[in-house]
Every structure is written in structure tokens, then in C-alpha cells.
Amino acid sequence: MKRRQELGLGLLGVLLAFGVCEAVSRAGIVRRSYLPPASEVLSRALELAGDSVFLDGIGATLRAWVLGLGLACAIAVPLGLLLGSVPLVDAAVRAIVEFLRPLPSVALIPLVSLLLGSGTETKVALITYACVWPILFNTIYGLGETDPLAKDTLRAFGFGRLAVLLRVELPGTAPFIAAGIRISAAVALILAVATEILAGFGEGLGIFIAQASLSTDGTRDVLAGVVWAGALGLVINGVLVWGERRLFPWTPEQRERAAAYRGRGV
Amino acid sequence: MSRDGAVAVRGGGVRQVGRVAVGGVLLRWVVLAVAVGCWEVAARAHDSVYFPPPGRIADHAYELWFSGPVRQVFLTDAAVDNIGPSLGRMAAGFVIAAVAGIALGVAVGRSRRTYALCNPVLQFARAVPPPALVPVFVVVLDFGTQMQVASIAFSALWPVLINTAEGARNTDPLRLDVAAVLRLNAVERLRFLLLPSALPRIFAGLRLSLSLSLILMVFSELLPGTANGIGFTLTDAQSRSDLLTVWAALVLLGALGYLLNTGLLAVEKRLIGKGRPI
């Protein structure tokens, strides 16, 4: 199948889904206050793009997202490099990590809001906690995958441990770190919205959704907020995937895709 | 670990590998014990309200949930009333998501055309942060078990669905040809071809879905208006500033997450076998 055909089919699928939602609501199969017609939700979402209060909310959510994700990178990448390159430290810390990781981060919301109140700090702290794990594990995993031959060569030339780390291991691990950051980006959005919905006041996308759900017939606004949240998630993911492809065109996934294209004779 | 193992094998035999592994395990537990011990000492010295010593948290958790009568397997009424419903809702949501996700995923992934048709919609559904949709479920289904199970199932559905579709789509074309030559019917193709080849992907999806179910289980119980569950225990304790219960619930949730993940990994190992890393 050609790329254009695929895009065409995808567009058709989107239109079909849209049409079904519209029809189900218009035909009165589901109560209108439960599922407003898709066109109304979409026009409300577009209308919100001109609403400065709403945009400020989006800005607040994105600010927490950036801060939390940035902090998580600053903690997880060096820590991952340390754990991945010194087996003794890794073995020592592994148990603690294994006990912290399975804790669902949403469950920390009550504790952290008791400690830090319900402002940006709470959001950032929770996002950081949740985002550290994917980046940390991808860094450790990536270090294990670096080319041993390149490392040995550099060592043979008399380069020290740090030089090997900076010249071979870090560049080799970068694609894995990037993949970890992409996973964390989605997690960060989940945490930002979840914390805001539970806080219920202040500003942010989650707060818009929470307040809309309390008003009568607010489903249209809630769904418009959800459309925005989904669009944000898609854009963030798209940008990160694009960046990864530009920066690391040699990663296994890329090679696989190239091989697949060759196999199809494109 | 594997690096240590390889060195040990070269060094001379199975015994040494065993010793290295035992040393590693020992080191882990010792470090963990020391860390907990430090926390205990520091917390007792500071007497902070927010960070109670782990010993008291453990005592409190025991009192709260595990000091019940024998006929309830030592579970207290609080445990039966809160942990039970939480686990039940989570299991229901996860099972619905897994069954529906695998079925729909195979249906979508079987032909390239259907896959191309559904892909953008699925990607959008996955991009929506699940908690954003919970208020919609609250409006439609009102507070209660129905709403919670629905939001868990809806959120956990997408990773399984998308991964299964990917897995089914990437079935080796050569094998498909063999299946055509052997004249396997649709059910046989599904049983012997599509499902096995999609299995590693399916499990990758299931693992994501499991942690999402746990997150959504807690989140849907944290909302004001719920009457029971571990999440309810958390918010209830928070509103009373009962930090000991908050910490105990956190430890319980961490242990639950660990057990569930370990269980799923064990099932995965049995079904897929070793040596097929994903």
C-alpha cells in the first residue's frame, strides 16, 4: 500500500468515527447531555483556542510539564549512567528502585499535596517522580547495549573511564534516553492533568475539565477539554518522534523500517 | 548481571556464577535494610509528623488491615471493605480491556487496510491522558463501581489494542503463505499463527495496561464522592491529616503493584518462553 493510500484511509477512518459520534448523538440513542454531537464539541474546542483564560490554563499545565520532565531528565540521566556503568552501585540500589517503581504515582497526590500544598510545586514534584523511571531504565538498558568493541578500542588507546563514557557510551545510549523521554512525556501529561483534576482550583487544563464537569450540561466543555488534551499529547509525541528520527537515524527501529521498505520494493 | 555471569563462567564454573548471584542478592537486601534503618533512625530523631518511621507505618498497616480474625484469613473489616472492592474493580476493568483489546486488535491488525483505516483514531485515543476522561464517565455513569470499572477498562484498552494490532500486522508473510498452502481455516490461523506471533507484543501491551489500571483504579477512587477502596482510604486519611494511614496505603499500593507486575511477568514467561526478549 502506498503512503498516500494509507493517509487517505486514515482520514476516512477519522471521518467515519466523527460521523458515528455525530449520528449517535443526533439520533437520540444516547442522551445529548451525555454525548453532545461531535461537531458541537469540535466547534467548542476551536472556540476555546481564542479564550485567553483557557489558553493561560494550557500554559500553566505545559509549564508544569516542562519543569517536571526537565527535572526528571536532570536526575535520571546521570543516575542511569552511574547505575549502568558501575555494577556494584547498580546491585546495591536495585532493590530500593524495585520497591519504589511499582507505586502508582497518582497515589502520591494526597501525600504530596499535604506536604507542598496544591500549587505548581506539587504538580512538578509528582511529574518528576513519575518521569524518572522510564528515563532511568532506558538509560541503564541503553548502556548495556553499547558496542563493546568500540569501548575496548578506546580503552586500548589509553582513554580513561570517563572518556569512554563520554565518547562512546553516552552517544550510543542517547537514542534509548530519547525513547525514555518520549514515554515520560506522555506520563507527565497524565500526572499534570490528574493532579489538576483532583486539586479542582487554580489554573490548568485539568482544572478546566474538572470545573466543567461540575456544571450542568458541562459534558460539551469537558469533551472539548479532552480533545485539547489528546491534541496536546499527539503534538508532543509527534515532535519528539520527529526529533528522534532527525537526531538518531541509525536506531534499530529505523533500520527495521528501512529494511521493510526495501523488502516491499519501494 | 549478565556481564558478571560471563566473567564468572570464564573464570571457572557454575559454582562461581552462583556465588556472584548470591552476593548480588545479598547486597540488594542489605542495602535496602540499611536504607530503611536510616529512615527509621532519622524519623525517630526528628519526630516529623510528615515522615513517620517505617516501623510505625508497618505496625499501623498491620493493625489496620491484617490483624483480623482467623475466619477472615486475618483480614480486618477495613481490609475487606476497602482492599477487596479496589482489587475487584481493577480486575474487572483490566480483564475487560485485555479481552476486548486482544479481540479488536487482531481484527484491526489482520488486514493492512483496516489497520490504515483505524490507526489515526487509535493514536488519538491513546494520546488522551486517561484521567481527563474520568469526569465524562462520572457524568454519564455517576459515582460508583460502574464508573470506576468503565474508566479503568477504557484507559487500559488502548495499549493492548494497538500493540496486538501491530503484532498481528507484522506476522511473517512466509508463514501466512505456509498457512495458505496447508489450508488452515480462520480459527486455526488465529490459534496457530496470528496469536502466537503477536504474543510478545500483546504482553508488552498488557504490562502497560496493568499499570494504567492500577493508576486509574487509585485515581477514580481519589475523586470526591467515592465510598470505599484504597484510594478512598488515602483521601479520607488525607482529609484527617492521618499521615500514618496515608503512608500505610502507599506501601500497600506499592506492594500490590509489585505483586501484579511479577505475576504478569511469570505468566508471560510461561507462555512465551525464555530467549525472546522484547
Q: How far apart are the first and last CA of chain B?
A: 18
Contact (CB, 8 A) for B259 and B187: no
CB A205 within 8 A of CB A228: yes
Position A253 confidence tier, pLDDT thresholds 50, 70, 90:
low
C-alpha cell at position A46: 476551536
Please state, rounded to an integer, the average pLDDT across all residues of chain B.
84
Helix and strand numbers (H, E) in chain A are 12, 0
Q: Say how far apart CA B152 and CA B145 lie, in whole Å.
A: 11
Farthest CA pair distance, chain A: 76
Spatial separation of the C-alpha atoms in residues B63 and B172, rounded to whole Å: 56
The 10s digit of each residue's pLDDT in B209-255 is 999 999 999 999 998 888 888 999 999 998 888 889 999 999 999 99
B98 pLDDT above the threshold of 90 = yes
Which chain B residues have a beta carbon less than 8 Å from that of A41? Answer: none
Q: Which of residues 186-245 of B touch A (CB under 8 A)?
A: 211, 214-215, 217-219, 222-223, 230-231, 234-235, 237-238, 241, 243
Q: What percent of chain A has pLDDT over 90?
A: 37
Query: Which residue in A1, A96, A106 is closest to B116 by CB distance?
Result: A1
Residue B278 has a pLDDT of 41
Residue B43 carries which side chain, given as an amino acid letter? A
Which position has the higher pLDDT, B81 or A200?
B81
Q: How many CB pairs under 8 A join A and B?
A: 170
Instruction: Find the residue in A nearest to B29 (Cα).
Output: A95
Is the pLDDT confidence value at A127 over 80?
A: yes
Q: Which residue is closest to B218 within chain A, CA to CA?
A: A107
List of chain B residues whose C-beta atoms are within 8 Å of the C-beta of residue A11: 120
Q: Which of B28, B134, B255 sits opposite A94 (nearest CB)?
A: B28
Residue B272, burial from CB neighbour count under 10 angstroms (0-12, 13-18, 19+): middle
- For chain A, the straight-line distance linking the first and the last C-alpha, in angstroms and rounded, comes to 10
Residue of B117, B105, B109, B116 whose CA lies nearest to A13: B117
Residues in chain A closer than 8 A to B253 (CB atoms):
103-104, 107
Query: DSSP letters along A184-238, please?
Result: HHHHHHHHHHHHHHHH-SSSSHHHHHHHHHHSTT-HHHHHHHHHHHHHHHHHHHH
Answer yes or no: pTM beyond 0.80. Answer: yes
**Each residue's pLDDT tens digit, B138-173:** 888 878 888 999 999 999 999 999 999 988 888 888
* CA–CA dist A204, A116 (Å, integer): 18
For residue B275, pLDDT over 50 is answered with no
Q: Of A228, A235, A236, which Cα lies nearest the Cα of A204? A: A228
The 10 Å Cβ neighbour count of residue A244 is 19
**Distance from C-alpha of A66 to C-alpha of A231, rounded to nearest angstrom:** 17
Q: Rounded distance, CA A128 to CA A67, Å?
A: 8
pLDDT tens, residue by residue, B12-66: 445 555 556 667 678 778 888 888 899 889 988 887 888 888 888 888 888 888 8
Confidence band of A256 (pLDDT split at 50, 70, 90): low
pLDDT digit string, tens, across residues A139-160? 988 888 888 888 888 888 888 8
| Whether pLDDT at A197 is above 50 | yes
What count of Cα atoms within 13 Å lies in the side-chain half-sphere of residue A251?
A: 18
Q: Do B28 and A218 touch (CB under 8 A)?
A: no
What are the chain B neighbours of A169 within 8 Å (beta carbons)? Answer: none
Does the distance separating the beta carbons of A109 and B118 come in below 8 Å? no
Which residue of A17, A108, A113 is in closest CB contact with B121? Answer: A17
Nearest CA distance, B85 vs chain A (angstrom): 17
Count of alpha carbons within 13 angstroms of residue B256, beta-carbon side: 23
Is the ipTM above a cut-off of 0.95? no
What is the distance between the alpha carbons of residues A110 and B247, in angstroms, rounded to a whole number? 10
Give the pLDDT confidence score for residue B2 in this predicted structure. Answer: 41
In this predicted model, what pLDDT tens digit does every residue of A17-69 receive, in sequence order? Answer: 999 988 888 887 777 778 888 888 899 999 888 888 899 999 999 999 999 99
Chain B residues touching A91 at Cβ < 8 A:
24, 27-28
